[in-house]
């Protein structure tokens, strides 16, 4: 049973040329998906559609059998899906742990001991307590990436969407992050990763390749 289904989805920025053209894909729970493609192929656009940040020009994006266009997308984004943005999009005036806590509060899930849970998540992605309490502006790019990952999974969403989650990390840390995402998928979540890295793509259960107006699927 697919958690996500793209039903003949197309997207155009200018109304004439489609960046995405008639995509009909399925994404299942418990699996790690990779989306690869050249720059400008529409990888981030696809992730924005799946995150409910924009609507397709044609077709439907279905989550658990419901068209996203008919859902309360603030609740969807805060409750059902965790997004790891390419440029992190953390609140700069908050500390790392506060950024993670904020997403927990926003989810409305009444998570107990949110501070402890946020600290544990940050520890899991490799940030110690000192760095966890530091304002994110004072963290390196790789550290901010880890905070973004912790924020995306802090409220236990069904789906995790990651846009180049290892783009700013060294090889060792890359592997740690891939391991974390693999564990998340193994725990029953659907994890979708947009990546340029062939090494990362190799770790995926399934990879979709985006080309301009065409797509290839590689199953393992």
- Considering only residues 16 through 35, tell me which ones interact with another protein, judged by CB under 8 A: none
Interacting residue with another protein among 107, 144, 180, 206 (CB under 8 A): 107
List 2, 28, 76, 175, residue binding another protein (CB under 8 A): 76
DSSP reduced 3-state for 197: coil
The least CB distance from residue 177 to another protein, in Å, is 19
| Short-list 193, 196, 198, 112, CA closest to 152 | 193
When asked if residue 131 is in the footprint of another protein (CB under 8 A), the reply is: no
Which range in 63-71, 90-98, 117-125, 170-178 contacts another protein by CB under 8 A? 90-98
What whole-number distance in Å separates Cα of residue 59 and Cα of residue 47? 15
CB atoms within 10 A of CB 84: 27
Stretch that binds another protein, among 15-23, 58-66, 83-91, 172-180 (CB under 8 A): 83-91
The whole-angstrom separation of Cα 214 and Cα 217 is 10
Q: Does residue 66 bind another protein (CB under 8 A)?
A: no
Sign of torsion, CA 154 160 166 167?
A: negative
Task: Establish if 146 lies at the interface with another protein (CB under 8 A).
Answer: no
Which of 183, 198, 217 minimizes the C-alpha distance to 30?
183
Binding site for another protein (CB under 8 A): 48, 51, 53-54, 74-79, 83, 85-87, 89-91, 93-94, 98, 101-103, 105-107, 151
């Amino acid at each position: 049973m697919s958690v996500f289904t793209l039903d003949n989805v197309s997207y155009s920025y200018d109304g004439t040329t489609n960046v995405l053209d008639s995509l009909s894909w399925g994404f299942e729970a418990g699996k790690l998906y990779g989306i690869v493609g050249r720059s400008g192929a529409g990888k981030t656009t696809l992730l924005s559609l799946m995150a409910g940040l924009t609507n397709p020009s044609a077709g439907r994006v279905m989550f658990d059998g419901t068209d996203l266009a008919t859902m309360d997308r603030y609740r969807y984004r805060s409750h059902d899906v965790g997004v790891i943005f390419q440029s992190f999009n953390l609140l700069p005036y908050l500390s790392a742990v506060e950024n993670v806590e904020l997403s927990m509060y926003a989810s409305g899930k009444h998570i107990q001991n949110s501070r402890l849970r946020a600290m544990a998540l940050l520890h899991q992605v490799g940030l110690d307590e000192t760095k966890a309490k530091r304002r994110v502006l004072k963290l390196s790019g790789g550290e901010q990436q880890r905070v973004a990952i912790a924020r995306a999974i802090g409220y236990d969403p069904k789906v995790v969407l990651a846009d180049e989650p290892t783009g700013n990390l060294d090889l060792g840390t890359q592997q740690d992050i891939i391991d974390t995402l693999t564990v998340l998928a193994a725990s029953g979540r659907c994890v979708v990763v947009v990546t340029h890295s062939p090494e990362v793509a190799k770790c995926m259960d399934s990879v979709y390749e985006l080309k301009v107006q065409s797509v290839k699927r590689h199953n393992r």
